[in-house]
Amino acid sequence: MKVDRNARTWCEISLPALRNNLRTLRRCLPPKNKILAVVKDDAYGHGLIPVGRTLAQAGCEEFGVACVSEGVQLRKAGIRQPILLLGSTLPFELKTALEHQLTVTLSSLTEAQELLRASLRSRRTARVQAKLETGMNRLGATPAEFTQLLFFIAQHPSLDLVGTFTHLACADSSPAFTQRQLARSSRLPKSLPHHWSNTAAVLQSLSLSSTHARPGLGLYGYSPLGRPTPHLQPVLSWKSRILLVRTVTRGQSISYGATFRAPRNMRVATVATGYAHGLPRSLSSCGHALVQGRLCPILGRVTMDMTILDVSRVPHPRREQEVVWIGRSGSLTRTAADLAREAGTIPWEILTRIHPSLPRLLP
């Protein structure tokens, strides 16, 4: 799909880069490891359906989503691989989960009992994975509860235990904490599929004794380890257009609150992107975008649907001209990691906060 000439701000999704990243991550794994691709939250803002279909066609064995509605979307898009609901599934969602053969995560006896009742009512066998708490304290059964949970599942044939897993909280930052979690994960039954490796763990070869890896961010081209991984390619570019170019004279203020005053005469461009589109307001007077291969600072506060750039160094800036927030312009490239560093956040947030209504185009 070509870029819509009428688009004011849009994203471009590179499916070849996505396939490359899947191959790159596979090379970090033991040959028999399967990949459970994390495509939750609209595939980290990249578009659930095109990403899911592409990964399925490229041989991805399983998928992980945040909730039932995402699993249903994948099923309706023709995805037949197992789909794991990574979050807790509420009672009113269980009937739909069972109808679409989604795998339910169980972290407690309460959840298991709810699912058993739903399974018996619908006369459908429920696929389940049991989650062990090893240090994240978000979801997962404590070690004592985990043993009870496995026993409860084993007592009821309508609950089909297809795997177990845990989640590493500090794989990108604390080797010692991660090793303690891995030691606790020895409680995961080795007779069943079991997994714990996010992208950070995959890149550090911490998947050796698991059956599956569970990468997320790496699929979309980023390493969480604080250093670039040469063979990972960012999948998403985010672009916009200039609405207006004007001259601001020395001493004039720019944007809300008059927080920025021009230190000299400047050429400035008003761009059709703001915090309503997902651009963090914390980029006010400290973020950058690319125009004609030049790095252009944000001036003043990011507003709801417009942001002002210093284009003094851009030759002949004009209305409708392309602005690159993430992606390549000339010889320069900006990434979600660059925006995250300037905004004081993380690449995950930058990617997932891009508004879902913006077109995701496949150039």
Going from N- to C-terminal start, the domains of the chain cover 33-220, 236-361
Instruction: State yes or no: pLDDT of 158 exceeds 90.
Output: yes
The fourth-level CATH superfamily of domain 236-361 is Lyase, Ornithine Decarboxylase; Chain A, domain 1 (2.40.37.10)
The residue among 6 and 16 whose pLDDT is bigger is: 16
pLDDT in tens, 81-120: 999 999 999 999 999 999 999 999 999 999 999 999 999 9
CATH number among 3.20.20.10, 3.10.450.50, 2.60.120.10, 2.130.10.10, domain 33-220 = 3.20.20.10
Told to judge if 40 belongs to the known catalytic residues of this protein, a careful annotator would answer: yes
Confidence at residue 5, expressed as pLDDT on a 0 to 100 scale: 60
Catalytic option among 44, 76, 131, 256: 256
- Cβ-Cβ contacts under 8 Å for 68 (sequence gap 6 or more): 85, 89, 93, 96, 97, 100, 102
Confidence at residue 1, expressed as pLDDT on a 0 to 100 scale: 41
Instruction: State yes or no: pLDDT of 60 exceeds 80.
Output: yes
Catalytic option among 2, 32, 40, 44: 40
Instruction: State yes or no: pLDDT of 242 exceeds 90.
Output: yes
Confidence at residue 208, expressed as pLDDT on a 0 to 100 scale: 77
Name which of 263, 260, 242, 253 is nearest 320 in CA terms. 242
Confidence of residue 3 (pLDDT cuts 50, 70, 90): low
Kindly state the average pLDDT of the residues 46-57: 98
Kindly state the average pLDDT of the residues 20-33: 95
Q: State pTM to two decimals.
A: 0.94
Instruction: State yes or no: pLDDT of 215 exceeds 60.
Output: yes
Instruction: Classify residue 158 by burial, with Cβ atoms within 10 Å: 0-12, 13-18, 19+.
Output: middle
Q: What is the DSSP letter of 141?
A: B
Confidence at residue 4, expressed as pLDDT on a 0 to 100 scale: 59
Kindly state the average pLDDT of the residues 273-279: 98
- Cβ-Cβ contacts under 8 Å for 328 (sequence gap 6 or more): 237, 290
Q: What is the DSSP letter of 298?
A: B
Instruction: State yes or no: pLDDT of 75 exceeds 60.
Output: yes
Kindly state the average pLDDT of the residues 124-141: 97
Instruction: State yes or no: pLDDT of 2 exceeds 70.
Output: no
Told to judge if 256 belongs to the known catalytic residues of this protein, a careful annotator would answer: yes
